[in-house]
Amino acid sequence: MTERVSAWALDGIPEIEPGADLAQLIGDAIVSDGGGCLDGDILIVTSKIVSKAEGRIVEASDREDAITAETVRVVATRAFEGGVTRIVENRLGIVGAAAGVDASNTADGTVLLLPVDPDASARGLTAALRARFGVRLGVIVSDTLGRAWRIGQTDVAIGAAGVQVVDDLRGSTDAQGRPLNVTVPVVADELAGLGDLVKGKASGRPVAVVRGMGRLVTDEVDTPGARTLPRTGPTDMFRLGTDEAYRLGLAGEKLE
Amino acid sequence: MTERVSAWALDGIPEIEPGADLAQLIGDAIVSDGGGCLDGDILIVTSKIVSKAEGRIVEASDREDAITAETVRVVATRAFEGGVTRIVENRLGIVGAAAGVDASNTADGTVLLLPVDPDASARGLTAALRARFGVRLGVIVSDTLGRAWRIGQTDVAIGAAGVQVVDDLRGSTDAQGRPLNVTVPVVADELAGLGDLVKGKASGRPVAVVRGMGRLVTDEVDTPGARTLPRTGPTDMFRLGTDEAYRLGLAGEKLE
């Protein structure tokens, strides 16, 4: 039995203002788009519009200062011609450049911070849209993130509700009957990436619908969210950049 | 204009033996599946079957020895109860655990190595399937890869032909007309992730069709492949694990 997945970006989401009822606007766009949600649909919502609705726009003459304010821990920095790249952990545990501070698609002199609690944002959207459409659906709040050892970025899940974030294969077996116990596919990140493929970056279409992955949608709204996805702390083999760790050692300082 | 993407896994790909004509078998499965390819289709092919067709099965009483043989450079190691995790760079420049050595879904006492040149494998499949179906299509060879700072794995592109691996936005602008020059969405990895969503890990369906992303499919077969995606060398801020770099410093040794 082959699952057929389809995905598309919704037209008709207006520019989001602080205080906007995002669930209402997304629901209206779904209705305009063709008549509603099916059971098992997953919505991929760009974090930027969640932030805007939640009023996370702050004045910042300097984006770098805003990044500093959102940073819990600096992992690595590297000067390059024209600036400094800082890889930092933000308060959501996400490690990346710029701490989720976004200065694109915002008014000059302002930056957009990530939602305070993207899993809670996803739960709110999920509950409201399930009530409106009377079906089980899931919501993933996505953001664009770089990664170590590979160029560029992909979209990943920073918030989730009503949908499994990992496809837990522990207990399953491969075609030879041996346990597949090492692999933990992070389906929430793959769904966020699919959202990016259909939304694009410059399109003004911040919400995608993914249809046909209902096996990942849960009865409950309140599921282990994207907050479970970052790996930080003692099991993180890259909690400090190479140069930073080396310099600590050279100076005889203690490594946390 | 909203792109609608659909994706599904192909039924009917048999167990692949060394020397198998993979393009023929995939093409037959496409025909059985419903009649052919459309212009702009992208096939996501699990590297495992490419390796099998190319005879990359080697006897290995010990998977760890096979990993060592495939490793160009050790990035970090960490002992845990029951073993050692090694993050290594393999000869394709890909940094991850296990160097791409696969011991699942293989006969006991054997392991499967990655294709020698997955971009070349993708080019071969692309050329053969374009000739058979008379349309422009692209091929991505995918593998499952962990990542720093996030749990679990996603599928990424390790080979590609006939399809853009990045959606180059340099020169594009955001909705406010400002340049989007920092973002390089790695669409090949997002496509590989989509393939994983529909193929699953234990399904025995190693090829997915992605339809509707024809804007990423190129006229040429021979395009910059997935070999362009790893970031290693001096610009890699995580070329050595935190503990490893610290110890070098403490010992007063030179950091490469």
Element (H, E) at B5: strand B4-9
A160 has which bridge partners?
A140
| pLDDT of B52 strictly over 90 | yes
% pLDDT > 70, chain B = 94
Q: CB A237 to CB B2 under 8 A?
A: no
Q: What is the pLDDT of residues B106-157, one digit of tens each?
A: 788 899 999 999 999 999 999 999 999 999 999 999 999 999 999 999 999 9
Find the CB nearest A7 among B5, B78, B167: B5
A187 and B197 in contact by Cβ < 8 A? yes
Q: Tell me, yes or no, if A79 comes closer than 8 A to chain B by beta carbon.
A: no
What's the order of all strands across the beta sheet hosting A4-9? A150-161, A138-147, A42-46, A207-211, A4-9, B4-9, B207-211, B42-46, B138-147, B150-161
Least confident among B27-41, B87-101, B158-172: B158-172
Out of B152, B197, B231, closest to residue A194 by CB: B197
Which stretches of chain A drop beneath a pLDDT of 50?
Answer: 1
H or E, element range at B129? helix B118-133
E-strand stretches of A91-206: 95-97, 110-112, 138-147, 150-161
Q: Specify the pLDDT at position A108.
A: 82
Please give the interface size between A and B, counted as residue pairs whose CB atoms are below 8 Å apart: 285
CB contact under 8 A, B153 and A185: yes
Residues contacting A154, CB < 8 A, separation 6+: A144, A145, A147, A189, A192, A193, A196, B185, B186, B189, B190, B193
Task: Please give the pLDDT value at position A177.
Answer: 67
Query: Could you say which architecture CATH assigns to the domain A6-250?
Result: 2-Layer Sandwich (3.30)
Asked if A42 contacts A210 with a C-beta cutoff of 8 angstroms, the reply is yes
- Domain segments of chain B: what residues? 6-250
Closest CA to B30 of B184, B169, B163, B137: B137
Alpha-carbon gap, residue A207 to A190, rounded angstroms: 15
Using an 8 Å CB-CB cutoff, list chain A residues near B205: 2
pLDDT tens track for B220-256: 999 999 999 999 888 899 999 999 999 999 999 999 7
Q: Is B84 on the interface with A (CB under 8 A)?
A: no
Its pTM surpasses 0.90? yes
Record the tokens describing residue A17, joined without a space: 């203002």
Of B14, B8, B191, B34, residue with least CA distance to A1: B8
Structure tokens at B132: 């058979």
Residue-level pLDDT at B240: 96
User: How many C-beta atoms lie closer than 10 Å to residue B84's C-beta?
Assistant: 9
Residues 97-156 of B with CB under 8 A from A: 104-107, 144, 147-156
Mean pLDDT confidence for B60-67: 84
DSSP helix/strand/coil, A44? strand
Beta strands in B148-186 (DSSP E): 150-161
Residue B79 CA: distances (Å) to CA of B84, B86, B149, B153 = 4, 9, 18, 20
- A-facing residues of B in 10-69 (CB < 8 A) are 10-11
Asked if B105 and A182 touch (Cβ cutoff 8 Å), the reply is no
- Interface probe with B: pick from A74, A246, A247, A255, most Cβ of B within 10 Å: A246
Tens of pLDDT, residue by residue over A64-94, are: 888 898 999 999 999 888 788 899 999 999 9
Nearest to B141 by CA among B130, B150, B131, B124: B124
Extract the tokens encoding B173: 């602008």
Taking an 8 Å cut-off on Cβ atoms, the answer to whether A150 and B231 are in contact is: yes
In angstroms, the CA A9 to CA A139 distance is 14
Pairing of strands A4-9, B4-9: antiparallel
Confidence category of residue B1, pLDDT binned at 50, 70, 90:
very low
Token digits for A190? Answer: 């793959």
pLDDT for A249 equals 97
**pLDDT at site A168:** 74
Cβ–Cβ of A197/B186 closer than 8 Å? Answer: no
Min Cα separation B134/chain A (Å): 24
Average pLDDT of chain B is: 92
- Cβ of B246 within 8 Å of Cβ of A245? The answer is yes
